[in-house]
Structure 1
């Protein structure tokens, strides 16, 4: 899986010193986007809207969102909704189905698997994976105190 570049704010939060990333390299300031959360799309499914309401306040506090992130954030939220729907369907109906060809994997298993991959990919862009969460837990001031070379 190809690694994507993290936003400057995430690099700085994980960094060793003010203005430096975790490797001590200078981090260029991000473009001067207006750092306010996007408006929730009215076309989101109910489950996706619930995910939006769950994650946006925290991301907004960290100033990681801008109005231009609306489609990306909506894609993440809809992927979460798809993952939940497919998972619930498999829980109700089982992992397999009976067909003319014999026992086959339930189609929702593949849908859940694909949605899970999509959720992880989008979540990484917003710092919502366990590995990026750990980086968010330690601010630049704390990192500088732990660095004997700073």
Structure 2
């Protein structure tokens, strides 16, 4: 069987094709038209009311950057909320681990849990922090938040400014006409 709609790599948005140098040699005009009139409008999704304070801060930090890159739409509310809340959870657990480590004699109170029998295992706070980190990385990868996702991004060079200011340019154009 030759494959189905799930075969191969998932498609990239037009903005990523252009940022990465359009190695697939897609028609540049079609990519520009897709950016100008995307199938789903580039718009910030409404922020959910259930986000914690730290998740709200992260939402407000990343949404403008995603808007500038054209990588966000109102349909992305759930994955963005998942990322922001997972990030906030990770911060909270890291703070609790640091407090327990500072209070413990060996400095591992938040990392290692010792039972009455002497058996040791990873502390539940460390497990929760690791889970929050995995959730944040998985959701953030959807937007290119990981170093590997950004590795191939090539931003377009800034447009070159005018060689002469307006008055000098107008005077110089009179010499060549």
Query: TM-score category by the smaller chain?
Result: 0.7 to 0.9
1:5 and 2:14 aligned: no
CA distance in structure 2 between the aligned counterparts of 1:127 and 1:6, rounded to whole angstroms: 14
1:119 and 2:125 aligned: no
Runs of 4+ in 1 over 6 A off after TM superposition: none
Instruction: Tell me by how many angstroms 1:69 deviates.
Output: 0.4
- 1:128 aligns with 145
- 1:86 aligns with 93
CA distance in structure 1 between the aligned counterparts of 2:9 and 2:84, rounded to whole angstroms: 20
- 2:3 aligns with none
| TM-score for the superposition, normalised by structure 2 | 0.65
Is the contact between residue 10 and residue 135 of structure 1 (CA under 8 Å) also seen in structure 2? no
1:44 and 2:60 aligned: no
CA distance in structure 2 between the aligned counterparts of 1:138 and 1:119, rounded to whole angstroms: 25
1:26 and 2:26 aligned: yes
SS of the residue 2:77 aligns to: helix
Instruction: Tell me by how many angstroms 1:138 deviates.
Output: 2.3
| TM-score for the superposition, normalised by structure 1 | 0.75
Please list the CA deviations of residues 84-108 of structure 1 after superposition, one character each: whole Å capped at 9, or x if unmatched. 1111111111212333343332101
Structure 1 unaligned segments of length 5 or more: list them. 143-150
Please list the CA deviations of residues 44-73 of structure 1 after superposition, one character each: whole Å capped at 9, or x if unmatched. 111111110111111111111110100110
Is the contact between residue 6 and residue 125 of structure 1 (CA under 8 Å) also seen in structure 2? no
Instruction: Tell me by how many angstroms 1:25 deviates.
Output: 4.3
Cα RMSD between the aligned structures? 2.5
